[in-house]
A and B are shown apart, each in its own frame.
Chain A
Amino acid sequence: MPEQPPGQRVRNFDEVPLGYDAEAAMAEASRCLQCRRPLCVDGCPVRVKIPEFVRLVAEGRFSEAARKIKETNAFPAICGRVCPQESQCELKCVLGKRGEPVAIGRLERFVADWALQHGKIQAPELPPPTGYSVGVVGSGPGGLACAADLAMRGHDVTIYELFHAAGGVLRYGIPRFRLPREVLEAELEYLAKLGVTIRLNFVVGRTATLDDLMEDHDAIFVATGAGLPRFLGIEGENLLGVYSANEFLTRVNLMRADRFPEYHTPVHCGDQVVVVGGGNVAMDAARTARRLGAENVTVVYRRTRAEMPARTEEVVHAEEEGVRFGFLASPTALNGDDDGWVCSMTCQRMELGEPDASGRRRPMPIEGSEYEIACDTAIVAIGSRAHPLVPETTPDLELSTRGYIAIDDSGATSKEGVFAGGDIVTGAATVIEAMGAGRRAADSIHRYLTSERPTDEDG
């Protein structure tokens, strides 16, 4: 797929891959073998009907392809861009065994973009209102997918979001050079066409508790994500110039610090930036720092490239953009100058030992191997924790380990009428998994509303 050349793209926030044209998409789609038992579908958390939509693309029937995808995936323009296809659908594609798998994600993106550009995204005809009302807490992919499905079944849906803009990580985390905001806006418009209301600046647990919301709604879906930053717990972490990736990315993505002072929120991005971590978040922070003008950006990761959880494409793009990698290294201290600004990071070299519980080889420190990297900005991207506001203010909501919300197979929590899904249940995962959880919860909520409950006066 054509891309913006690296030298050009490090100076803008425009999308990197430029997308297929119709001809290229049809050519790519015609490589699909139309397997009778399509393994690719098993790799997709929401079981997109891959061979069916790919065939429609090969035949040039793009609007039909778009409708086919939408049957199981409410937001294909987003998933086509951010799914880790190499570990999901494309991993399972039989063609991948001996060559390149079908570029399912890129085709999905093409179809969704095409439908958007050609005005083919029309809200489906909605069934008559059921009279039931559902509250959705959090407007990330989990909440949005759940809301869309419920609205399509005639329920009245209100989403509550604490920020001043909807989208969750899609808004404040994933940079626009990976997910242009027009794509997100279009999906939100679609949701509006379905009649979904979004109440922004509404902090559930503060503006109103979950119990208060229960009085206005017949059921609730909680999708508050795992947005709390983790820090390393090492000396010097509170020096000036040290950020959580969350803060760094929020300042740029949500608050537009890349356009300071036109936008008033500043961000400090020096010339020598060190990013700690090996996931998508670390790649996004590093690539954002390059675009803010940092000359030297180094990603420090305690395992090797093979273990990096980031999408392959992001790692390749980061490398092309001049981001350097320090593998098998772990920070032990951040050092400051007299004014309290970070000036270097002390790292210790690691070696890989025995595999741990996750099956990945455990990094072990090498004694006496400390070295220093000069830096004027350090960004910590080592994972996140459950957002605690809702659990803390809802005493009868049962939790699993580490503050995540416990659910049963149907997505129901310990609290009658309250369902949950996405990162707040699983811990940091993926966009498509959160969407899948949202859709499953929508099914369960629909069943809960329409069968199990005694009908009340407005039912």
Chain B
Amino acid sequence: MHEIVAREEIAKDTWRYIVRAPEIARQRRAGQFVVLRVYEKGERFPLTVVSSDPDEGTIELIFQAVGTSTRMLAKMDVGVEILDLAGPLGRPTHIEHFGTCAVLGGGFGMAPVIPIATALAEAGNTLIGINGARSREYVILEERFRQICDRVEICTDDGSYGHRGFVTDVLQRLIDAGEQIDYVLAIGPTPMMRAVAELTRPYGIRTVVSLNPIMVDGTGMCGGCRVEVAGEVKFACVDGPEFDAHQVDFDMLMKRQRMYSEMEGEARKMFEPHSTPLCCCKEGGHDNNRGKDEAAADARAASRPAGA
């Protein structure tokens, strides 16, 4: 049902997929995500819906192949169906006319920034885009960002492209230069979001971040995604994923994100290309692109009665 209709590698290990999902395409709004499972032994994991085309009935996903699940997805070709795809999940972003908005994307945090920036621009805000990456080869979606924003600043940690430094340096410079900023959106690695929150706090600028704790169901049923905001426990998948940056307990979020890091390493090792009989890539002779994957079909036959 959820066929991959187009794919391209837009930067090193960073992929853009167009997937057929008519219902999600119709319903989704900025800030929402989907939960996927790419094969019958795989994890459920979340990805932001970057854009959708209700007429074509497709959604756009952009992800970095970092671990087991995302690497497996990155191996799946056009024409293949994604085993499970549910959504759109999460609260849509609260959009209004704020005035001048600084929208900050760190690394592949750019993917979730795009839909929200688009919605902010449509609501008549003036947008200053700031895109930070490790180095030039990790700068993604620059053209698109420039089309959405009134102005774009780019920075890299090593100075290989744009300013040398972090997104916070650029933001600080803007504030110091007397730029009136009414709203800040920051999405990227947790330390980056925390740094932005600390920067804007003394200025009292409303700052929103999109949190990415580990999720299972994505619908409020497990509590695994809990984060602390203003001293209260929130479930990021249903109460978020966006929250007031000044109220988020980033320390706890970072710890919880690492809960399975050892085990994730173990799982990844098993799925290193060609390293084991379980290798899932085409090169290893275990074609992951069997449209009607047999194992998957078995698993489904069980839970999806005929006639479905």
Decide: B42 and A207 in contact? CB cutoff 8 A: no
Identify the closest chain B residue to A388 (Cβ). B220
Set of chain A residues within 8 Å of B42, measured between Cβ atoms: 263-264
Within 8 A of A (CB), among B209-251: 216-217, 219-224, 226, 228, 233, 238
Decide: A201 and B221 in contact? CB cutoff 8 A: no
Decide: A202 and B86 in contact? CB cutoff 8 A: yes
Asked whether any CB of chain B lies closer than 8 Å to the CB of A387, the reply is yes
Within 8 A of B (CB), among A154-205: 162-167, 185, 188-189, 191-193, 195-203
Asked whether any CB of chain B lies closer than 8 Å to the CB of A364, the reply is no
Count of B interface residues, CB-CB < 8 Å: 49
Asked whether any CB of chain A lies closer than 8 Å to the CB of B177, the reply is no
Decide: B220 and A192 in contact? CB cutoff 8 A: no
Q: A166-B303, A185-B302, A389-B220 are in contact. List 8 more A-B contacts (CB 8 A).
A: A165-B302, A192-B305, A196-B307, A247-B222, A266-B260, A268-B259, A340-B252, A387-B220
Alpha-carbon distance A243/B221, docked complex (angstroms): 12
Which stretch, B50-58, B106-114, B157-165, B264-272, touches the partner chain A?
A: B264-272
Within 8 A of B (CB), among A115-151: none
Identify the closest chain B residue to A380 (Cβ). B223
Main secondary structure of the interface of A (DSSP, over half): loop
Set of chain B residues within 8 Å of A198, measured between Cβ atoms: 303-305, 308
Alpha-carbon distance A278/B258, docked complex (angstroms): 31
Asked whether any CB of chain B lies closer than 8 Å to the CB of A244, the reply is yes
Q: B86, B264, B307: which contacts A197 (Cβ < 8 A)?
A: B307
Q: A162, A188, A256: which contacts B41 (Cβ < 8 A)?
A: A256
Which of B27, B222, B306 gathers most chain A CB within 10 Å? Answer: B222
Asked whether any CB of chain B lies closer than 8 Å to the CB of A284, the reply is no
Asked whether any CB of chain B lies closer than 8 Å to the CB of A457, the reply is no
Query: Would you list the 8 A-B pairs with minimal beta carbon distance, nearest first?
Result: A192-B305, A247-B222, A340-B255, A266-B263, A201-B86, A164-B84, A244-B223, A165-B303
Decide: B255 and A207 in contact? CB cutoff 8 A: no
Query: Chain A: residues with CB nearer than 8 A to chain B?
Result: 162-167, 185, 188-189, 191-193, 195-203, 206-208, 227-229, 231, 237-238, 240-241, 243-244, 246-247, 250-251, 255-256, 260-266, 268, 339-340, 387-389
Decide: B221 and A246 in contact? CB cutoff 8 A: yes
Within 8 A of A (CB), among B21-59: 23-24, 27, 37, 41-44
Asked whether any CB of chain A lies closer than 8 Å to the CB of B188, the reply is no
Q: B83, B299, B302: which contacts A188 (Cβ < 8 A)?
A: B302
Decide: A203 and B303 in contact? CB cutoff 8 A: no
Set of chain A residues within 8 Å of B260, measured between Cβ atoms: 266, 268
Set of chain A residues within 8 Å of B44, measured between Cβ atoms: 164, 255, 265
Decide: B41 and A199 in contact? CB cutoff 8 A: no
Asked whether any CB of chain A lies closer than 8 Å to the CB of B85, the reply is yes
Q: Can you give 6 contacting A-B residue pairs, CB < 8 Å?
A: A185-B303, A200-B303, A201-B86, A240-B258, A247-B223, A256-B41
Main secondary structure of the interface of B (DSSP, over half): mixed
Decide: A238 and B267 in contact? CB cutoff 8 A: no
Asked whether any CB of chain A lies closer than 8 Å to the CB of B88, the reply is yes
Identify the closest chain A residue to B222 (Cβ). A247
A208-B23 contact given A261-B267, A266-B264, A340-B252, CB 8 Å threshold? yes
Decide: B259 and A240 in contact? CB cutoff 8 A: yes
Identify the closest chain B residue to A233 (Cβ). B233
Decide: A196 and B87 in contact? CB cutoff 8 A: no
Decide: A206 and B88 in contact? CB cutoff 8 A: yes
Set of chain A residues within 8 Å of B270, measured between Cβ atoms: 261-262
Decide: A250 and B89 in contact? CB cutoff 8 A: no
Alpha-carbon distance A208/B87, docked complex (angstroms): 9
A192-B306 contact given A164-B86, A203-B87, A264-B68, CB 8 Å threshold? yes
Decide: B43 and A250 in contact? CB cutoff 8 A: no
CB distance from B10 to the nearest CB of A (A): 25
Identify the closest chain A residue to B37 (Cβ). A164
Which of B216, B256, B266, B278 gathers most chain A CB within 10 Å? Answer: B216
Asked whether any CB of chain A lies closer than 8 Å to the CB of B69, the reply is yes
